[in-house]
């Protein structure tokens, strides 16, 4: 589509950048994905160094907008605060 310099463009549906986050857990490991790309994982053997593995116990899902730490590092100077986390839906599946 060609536009002239003095024409304006109106978006009827503004685009938002959305990401799909997913976790997968077995008795042997737990893995986290962002947009279907592996992001982080830990095995029950690695957990056992600090105490009994908890991967074979029931879990609660907690949605948290945490900032900083060892997982993804500290915020950069251009990080915008306060931040908001918008969640469209949460699905939980149990493997039979």
Q: Which pLDDT value is given to residue 15?
A: 59
Strands (DSSP E) along 1-96, which ranges?
21-25, 29-34, 37-43
Q: Which pLDDT value is given to residue 44?
A: 92
Q: What is the C-alpha separation between 52 and 71, in angstroms, rounded?
A: 21
- Residue 71: pLDDT band (50, 70, 90) is low
Q: CA 63, 65, 66, 70 torsion: positive or negative?
A: positive
- Residue 46: pLDDT band (50, 70, 90) is very high
Question: pTM of the full predicted structure?
Answer: 0.61
Report whether pLDDT(11) > 60: no
């Amino acid at each position: 589509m060609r536009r002239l310099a003095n024409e304006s463009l109106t978006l009827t549906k503004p685009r938002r950048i959305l990401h799909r986050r997913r976790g997968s857990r077995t008795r042997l490991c737990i893995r986290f994905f962002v947009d279907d790309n592996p992001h982080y994982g830990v095995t029950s053997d690695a957990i056992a160094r600090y105490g009994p593995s908890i991967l074979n116990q029931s879990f609660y899902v907690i949605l948290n907008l945490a900032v900083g730490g060892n997982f993804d590092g500290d915020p950069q100077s251009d990080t915008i605060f306060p931040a908001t986390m918008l969640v469209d839906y949460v699905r939980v599946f149990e493997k039979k």
